[in-house]
Amino acid sequence: MFETLHKATLDKIFVLMAEYAADPRSEKIDLGVGVYKDETGNTPIMSAVRKAEARIHENARTKTYVGVSGNRGFCNAIVDLVLADSVDRSRVRTAQGPGGTGALWILIQLLNRAKPGARVMISDPSWPNHWPMMELAGLTPEHYPYFDPKTRAVDFDAMLATLDTLGPDDIVLLHACCHNPTGANLTEAQWDQVAASLARTGAFPLLDLAYLGFGDGLEADAYAARKLASSVPEMMIAFSGSKNFGLYRERAGCAIAIARDEAGADIVGSQMSNVIRASFSQPPDHGAEIIRVILEDPALRAEWEAELAQMRERMKRLRVKLAEAIRKQSNATDYDFIAEHSGMFSLLGLERDVVERLKTEDGVYMINDSRINVAGIPEDRVDALASHLLAATRQ
Binding site for ligand LMR (CB under 6 A): 13, 33-34, 127, 129, 180
Nearer to ligand LMR by C-beta: 127 or 245? 127
Residues taking part in catalysis: 127, 208, 210, 243
Distance in Å, CB of 239 to ligand LMR, minimum: 13
- How far apart (Å, rounded) are the C-alpha atoms in residues 167 and 118? 11
- How far apart (Å, rounded) are the C-alpha atoms in residues 275 and 257? 14
Encode 313-326: b = buried (16+ Cβ within 10 Å), e = exposed: ebbbebbebbbbbb
Nearer to ligand LMR by C-beta: 34 or 70? 34
Distance in Å, CB of 33 to ligand LMR, minimum: 4
Q: Is the four-CA dihedral 387, 388, 394, 395 of positive or negative sign?
A: positive
Nearer to ligand LMR by C-beta: 37 or 93? 37
Q: How far is CA 317 from CA 187, 219, 375, in A?
A: 21, 20, 10
Distance in Å, CB of 276 to ligand LMR, minimum: 20
Distance in Å, CB of 11 to ligand LMR, minimum: 6
Q: Which helix (H) or strand (E) holds 79?
A: helix 72-83
Distance of CA 130 to the CA centre of its chain: 11
Nearer to ligand LMR by C-beta: 134 or 300? 134
Distance in Å, CB of 193 to ligand LMR, minimum: 27
Q: Which residue is nearest to ligand LMR (CB)?
A: 34
Question: 103 burial class (0-12, 13-18, 19+ CB within 10 angstroms)?
Answer: buried
- How far apart (Å, rounded) are the C-alpha atoms in residues 99 and 291? 12
Question: 389 burial class (0-12, 13-18, 19+ CB within 10 angstroms)?
Answer: buried
Nearer to ligand LMR by C-beta: 69 or 182? 182
